[in-house]
Each structure stands twice: as structure tokens, then as C-alpha cells.
């Protein structure tokens, strides 16, 4: 006996009217600004405003040192190229500072020699 194929009633289930909520979370990845390795470049106007001894028109970029360099009139009367980042601290040029130190050393040496001379007498 072959069983009668009972026709399966088509499951015509009405598809649930689900409005597929595609919860699209906006792909917002906060971009954290990378800390710039290169120092902030300044304009000559900014420099002149802050450092009156800067020689106008001398600002340039030193590729080798990765620094901005500018000519400045120093307290010793000389003009020297300085990194803009050093402007605030450099008052006299290295040569003059060296000369002053040399003189001080010479004076100290002479004083010591004179002191030693008093001992051997």
C-alpha cells in the first residue's frame, strides 16, 4: 500500500512585515591628531614681533638640522645664524661666549699660579 501523498498545505505564512532595521552604526573612528615631529614653523613677522634683534629677510629653513634658522644681531655686536628655537636663550654668539670663558679661565689659572707661588716661597 502506497500511502497517499498528503499534500502539505503550503505554509503561506505571511512574512512578518519586519522592516529590517539595519542598525548602521556610523563608522566614526575618531581621528587622533598625530603629534607633529617637526617643530612648528614660524613666520618672520612672528619672530620680529617677539625678537626685535632678528634681521628681517634672513629667515630660512635648514634642511640638515630640520630647523628654521634666522640671522640675529646679538648683544656682543655680531650677527649670527641661529635656530629660531634658540633665539630666546642666545644673547651672545658662541665665539664671544667662548672668548669670555677663555678669559675667565686664564684669569683663574693666573690666580691659582699666584697662589701656588705664595706657598712655595
What is the binding site for Zn ion (CB under 5 A)? 76, 78, 93, 96
Distance CA 54, CA 48 (A): 6
- Of 44, 53, 93, the C-alpha closest to 73 is 53
Distance CA 84, CA 49 (A): 13
- Nearer to Zn ion by C-beta: 41 or 102? 102
Q: Give the shortest CB-91-to-Zn ion separation in angstroms.
A: 10
- Nearer to Zn ion by C-beta: 42 or 76? 76
- Nearer to Zn ion by C-beta: 42 or 96? 96
Amino acid at each position: 500500500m502506497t500511502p497517499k501523498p498528503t499534500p502539505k498545505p503550503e505554509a503561506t505564512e505571511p512574512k512578518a512585515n519586519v522592516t529590517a532595521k539595519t542598525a548602521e552604526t556610523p563608522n566614526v573612528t575618531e581621528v587622533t591628531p598625530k603629534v607633529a615631529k617637526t617643530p612648528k614653523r614660524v613666520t618672520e613677522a612672528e619672530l620680529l614681533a617677539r625678537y626685535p634683534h632678528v634681521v628681517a629677510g634672513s629667515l630660512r629653513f635648514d634642511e640638515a638640522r630640520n630647523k628654521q634658522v634666522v640671522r640675529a644681531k646679538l648683544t656682543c655686536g655680531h650677527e649670527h645664524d641661529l635656530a629660531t628655537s634658540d633665539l630666546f636663550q642666545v644673547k651672545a654668539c658662541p665665539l664671544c661666549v667662548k672668548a669670555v670663558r677663555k678669559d675667565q679661565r686664564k684669569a683663574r689659572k693666573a690666580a691659582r699660579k699666584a697662589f701656588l707661588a705664595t706657598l712655595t716661597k
